[in-house]
Amino acid sequence: MFQDISKVLLITDMDGTFLPASKIPSPKDLEAIKRFQEAGGKFSIATGRAIQASQQYFNDFKVNAPIIMCNGGMVYDLINHKQIYDVYLPDKAKTFTEQILKDNPDVGCEVLKLDGVYVPSYTEMEKIHCDICKVSPILCQVNDIKNNWYKVLFTNVPEKLPKLIDYINKHNFDDVDFVISAPQYFEMLPQNISKGSALKKMRDICGFEDYTFVAVGDYNNDIEMIKYADVGICPLNATEDVKNVADIVLDVTCEQNAISAVIDFIFEKVSCN
């Protein structure tokens, strides 16, 4: 499985895995990524973020494989600036979003599209999220947002998010899926779309059929990716649900250079073959 490092693709979630609470990549992780790539390995990211919210980091490190955005809704070629694979929410997602916001007025909301982050409910939590991601929100009404939605992010303070989740579960919104991606985020995605389904598409259409995929993540929206990968790894700060499906649970957190530890593991495996 680790015969040749040039046939290894390492793909990592960003927030809570590669990025610590400060949202600043650690020098040790950045050095390890550079060392891994110089040895021939492929490095990529899989994130719930839009391109606009991720591009701030691409001066700190380089990817040399396609990236997964919007929790699996898009596979994107960052080098050539083009979409490789897209899946959009059905048109009825607009009606669902309007109903959810009408019945839950304290909930923040953003809609991710290729050309920007549209915000029909700009609550304090949503403002914090936009500030963290360093995106300029496009404030608007739900009806003003044209089609081709990748996902809808709903946000509230962690102690109130269970109420929103309970509301959504009771309404049985069809032809879409929902996933919790952080204690304050609940997301609407196209049905059967995840980071895992996007990773499978990458293998099938990007010439990675004979690669070993190593995937790293910390939260429930990473579960399908970790399960699909040849080796699924999580940092010590991962949720219990993630730890239960991971092949390896690290003894370090995202605050303790988890990605560097994964790269050390890969080099060790390759050296043993």
Dump pLDDT digits (tens) for 238-257: 999 999 999 999 999 999 99
Per-residue pLDDT at 113: 95
Per-residue pLDDT at 198: 97
Beta strand spans in the chain (E): 8-12, 42-45, 67-69, 74-77, 82-86, 108-113, 116-121, 138-139, 151-155, 176-182, 185-190, 212-216, 231-234, 248-249
Q: Which of the listed CATH numbers 3.40.50.1000, 3.40.47.10, 3.40.50.150, 3.40.50.720 matches domain 5-87+193-271? A: 3.40.50.1000
Give start-end residues of each CATH 3.40.50.1000 domain in the chain: 5-87+193-271
Give the residue ranges of the chain where pLDDT is below 70.
none
Instruction: Name residue 81's amino acid.
Output: H
**Cα 161–Cα 167–Cα 171 angle in degrees, nearest 5:** 145
Per-residue pLDDT at 231: 98
Cα–Cα nearest to 234, from 74, 16, 33: 16
Q: Please state, in angstroms and rounded to a whole number, the distance separating the CA atoms of residues 240 and 246.
A: 10
Give start-end residues of each CATH 3.30.1240.10 domain in the chain: 93-190
Per-residue pLDDT at 242: 98
Per-residue pLDDT at 56: 83
CATH of domain 93-190: 3.30.1240.10
Dump pLDDT digits (tens) for 140-149: 999 999 999 9
Per-residue pLDDT at 129: 94
